[in-house]
Structures are given as C-alpha cells and as structure tokens.
Amino acid sequence: MADRTASGDFYAVLQVHPSADHEVIEAAYRQLMKKHHPDMAGRDARLSAQYHERAKIINQAYGVLRDPVQRRRYDSMRNFGGDTSAAGRPSRAEPDDTAGARGASDPAPSRWPRAPASAAWAPGEGSMVSAVLRSPLAALAAVYYLLPGPYEWEGGHRQELLTTCLLPPVGLAAFALATGRLAPWVGQSPIQTFLAWGILAILVLPSWSSLPRLALAIAPSLVLLSGALNTLLHQASVPAWLAWTLVAFLSLVLSARLYLFAALPTLAACWLLTRLG
C-alpha cells in the first residue's frame, strides 16, 4: 500500500509545488507513471500490486490538478483546511472528465487528508518571511524529484539526498587539502595530512554506495577540466562549448541528480577557490 504521508496531498503525490505550472505537473506525472507503472514490476506479483496502488494515487492526483476548474476547487478546500476528498470526485452538475486519466475502474478514495504544513507551502500559510524562504527550497525540491532517481516514498532516497548535501563541502575540503590550502590549519606533517584525509573519508562513509555513480557522473568533467583532451579536441576542431555540452549530457544520463545538485556545485566551488587564490 502506498505511503500515507506521500498520498495525503495531491501536490505531494506528484512531488510538485502548489504553484507549479501545468507543464511541470504533466512532466512530474509522466515521470512517476513511467517509474511506477504496474508493467514495470514484471512477474513480481507483490511489487505489481504496490505499483498498481501507487499508479491509482498518481492518476487520481493528476486527474484533479490537470483540470483548471477542479484544481481551483481543490486549492480552495486545501488552503482553508477543508475536506479535499470532494476534489477528486465530480459534482452532480459536471461530468467526470478525469476518468480517462485514472481509469474507469479505479474508485476515488473516500478521503484525502490535508498534508501537514511541512509538506508543501500554500499561499497564505505562515509569515511572509517563511514563505519567501521556503518557496525557493520547494522549487528546488520539485526540480530534484523530477529528475530520475528514488522518490521520497522509496528506499534509498535518504542516502542519495545525504550524498547530494555532503559532496559540496567535503569535495571542497578535499580539493583544498590536496592543493595545500589547508596546510596552515592542518599542518604539513604526513601524519596530520593522513588524519585529515581519514576524517574526510569517515564523512563520506554514509553515502559510500552512491560514490560509484557519482564518480562516473563527475569523471568526464574532471577529465575536461584537467586539459588532458585539449590537444585531441584542437586537432578534431571541436569547440569548448560543444565539448562541455557533450560532457554535461553524458553526466546527466549517468546520474542527473548527483551531477546537477552535487557535482556541479562542487566543481564551481573549487573553481571559485582557485580564483580567490
């Protein structure tokens, strides 16, 4: 059965911000259905049943949020803490045009409880400062979960998120240590340097299983930054912008989330450190 926290709010189901455009909602729906379609379970009956339940919830949420009229009605009920279960069912005066999205045989849930305040920000909730601070984070979270990878209700998502958060500071510290910029604080003796590297290794232990994918994603960029391919690219008349485009595309295919949210910020921080001297 689907996780109740994830299914408590239509926006949380689709992993989008309450102010998301229709295109973002549609893209999130397609990503989730591609990942949780029952056919993806193969011959595993138990997994197929889980995917079927998740697909029904996803279809129910999309069926409401894709329709402007139903979405406005749902938002009104949601923002004022009302019962949002009616948003997923047509009124007597209007036909149910969401049947095609969720399937005619899929019954609407009897009740969809409102998500907790921490799940997503809705206009009018909290102070203006809180809204301004949380809105960019919600937008980043929406982009993060639109990319391929485990979603919030799946196992492994915490480890990937931890890797994403750990890499920039640990990667910057490793770069500074390798280039001698931490010598004034760490010291220059082999033992002190070894201890510093050991501390960094301990910090990345919780995300150890994600490191191979991360290495594959960041390796092309590191090779290009090292200048090892400069001669070859010059002989082949390949401009730098095209080389970087190809490298970025390859890294996105290998691990989009880790590359965009971990590898690129780390590379940018290391580059900035070299510019600052």
For the chain, the distance separating the N- and C-terminal CA atoms, rounded to the nearest angstrom, is 55
Range of the domain at 109: 4-117
The reported pLDDT for the residue numbered 109 is 39
Asked whether residue 145 is domain-assigned, the answer is no
**Would you state the pLDDT for residue 155?**
63
In sequence order, the 6+-apart residues with CB closer than 8 A to the CB of 110 are 85
Let me know if residue 134 belongs to a domain: no
One-character DSSP codes across 169-199: HHHHHHHHHHTTTTHHHH-SSHHHHHHHHHH
Query: Based on the domain organization, do 113 and 171 belong to the same domain?
Result: no
DSSP state of 208: G
Q: Render the burial of 67-86: b for 16+ CB within 10 Å, e for the rest.
A: beebbebbbebbeeeeebeb
Cα 259 from chain centroid?
A: 12
- Angle, helix 157-178 to helix 190-204, in steps of 10 degrees: 160
pLDDT at res. 277: 67
Residues with pLDDT less than 50, the chain: 1-7, 86, 88-133
Q: Give the other-Cβ count within 10 Å of 165's Cβ.
A: 13
Answering whether pTM is above 0.75, one says no
Residue that terminates a domain, selected from 86, 117, 148? 117
How many domains does one find in the chain? 2
CA–CA dist 117, 152 (Å, integer): 17
Give tens-digit pLDDT for 83-125: 555 454 444 434 444 444 444 334 333 333 333 333 333 333 3
Q: Is residue 38 part of a domain?
A: yes
> Cα(245)–Cα(233) distance, rounded to whole angstroms?
13
